[in-house]
């Protein structure tokens, strides 16, 4: 086996060892949970699952009339509506929580 091939294999194995030792697991402490959250949609509401709870993050601009916020989204209890989540929804006349 050539010296170059040994260096490549050594580098790959070293990276695998380093990455499996946990540094990627600590990213959650560096970034807010919303950094990794994936937006989902339920009717006119956009939400994310964060720290085991559903958080309403946005609303479809075309929503009109009454919007009902369900008790749970994505199988998780709704615990928060972000302050600006409904600000662009000018045609909503009533929000039921």
pTM: 0.60
* pLDDT given for residue 28 in this prediction: 47
Residues 38 and 24 reside in one and the same domain: no
Residues 50-81 have pLDDT tens digits of 999 999 999 998 889 999 999 999 999 999 99
36, 74: one domain:
yes
User: Is 91 in the same domain as 79?
Assistant: yes
Q: What is the pLDDT of residue 35?
A: 55
Decide if 31 contacts 25 (C-beta within 8 A). no
Same domain, 38 and 23: no
Are the C-beta atoms of 91 and 69 separated by less than 8 Å? no
Measured between alpha carbons, how far is 64 from 24 in angstroms, rounded to an integer? Answer: 43
Number of domains present in the structure of the chain: 2
Residue range 10-52, pLDDT digits in tens = 776 665 556 555 554 444 445 555 555 688 888 989 999 999 9
Structure confidence at residue 46 (pLDDT)? 92
Both structure tokens of 71:
């008790």
Domain that holds residue 7: 1-30
């Amino acid at each position: 086996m050539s010296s170059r091939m040994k260096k490549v294999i050594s580098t790959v194995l070293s990276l695998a060892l380093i990455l499996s030792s946990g540094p990627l697991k600590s990213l959650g402490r560096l970034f807010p949970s919303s950094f990794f959250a994936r937006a989902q949609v339920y009717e006119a509401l956009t939400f994310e699952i964060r720290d085991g709870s559903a958080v309403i993050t946005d609303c479809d601009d075309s929503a009109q009339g009454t919007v009902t916020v369900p008790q749970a989204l994505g199988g998780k209890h709704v615990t928060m509506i972000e302050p600006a989540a409904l600000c662009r929804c000018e045609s909503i006349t009533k929000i039921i929580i």
